[in-house]
Amino acid sequence: MKKNIYNILKGTFLVSDDSFKNWRFIIFISVLALVMIASSHSADKKVYEIARLKNEVKETRSTFLEGRTKLMRLKMESHVINIMKEKGIAPSVIPPKKIKVKSKN
């Protein structure tokens, strides 16, 4: 047991006659580690992109709601009357009349 641990620490398993299978396994493990690291970086990049897009959606929605609120205020009858008074146009005091058209069928 002590001899095996000492051989591992010395690295004799890498230079012995049957070390080819050990090197193949070490290279395989190294490639797997590289793939895992690359996959992790890719996943992190996607998480950051998702967070950025969520913030962009929030900003766009906020801008939309602000614009819609401003439009609703501009369309209010009292606001339109105030703007028309500045231009010298007053609302009619005579109520509108309904026009009925009868067809000749």
Which regions of the chain does DSSP assign to beta strands (E)? Answer: none
How many whole angstroms separate alpha carbon 77 and alpha carbon 28?
76
pLDDT of 59: 98
- Average pLDDT score over residue span 86-103: 89
How many whole angstroms separate alpha carbon 15 and alpha carbon 73?
83
pLDDT in tens, 15-29: 777 777 778 888 999
* Closest of 98, 79, 99, 81 to residue 90, by C-alpha: 81
Q: Is the pLDDT of residue 86 over 80?
A: yes
* Closest of 33, 10, 13 to residue 21, by C-alpha: 13
pLDDT of 8: 73
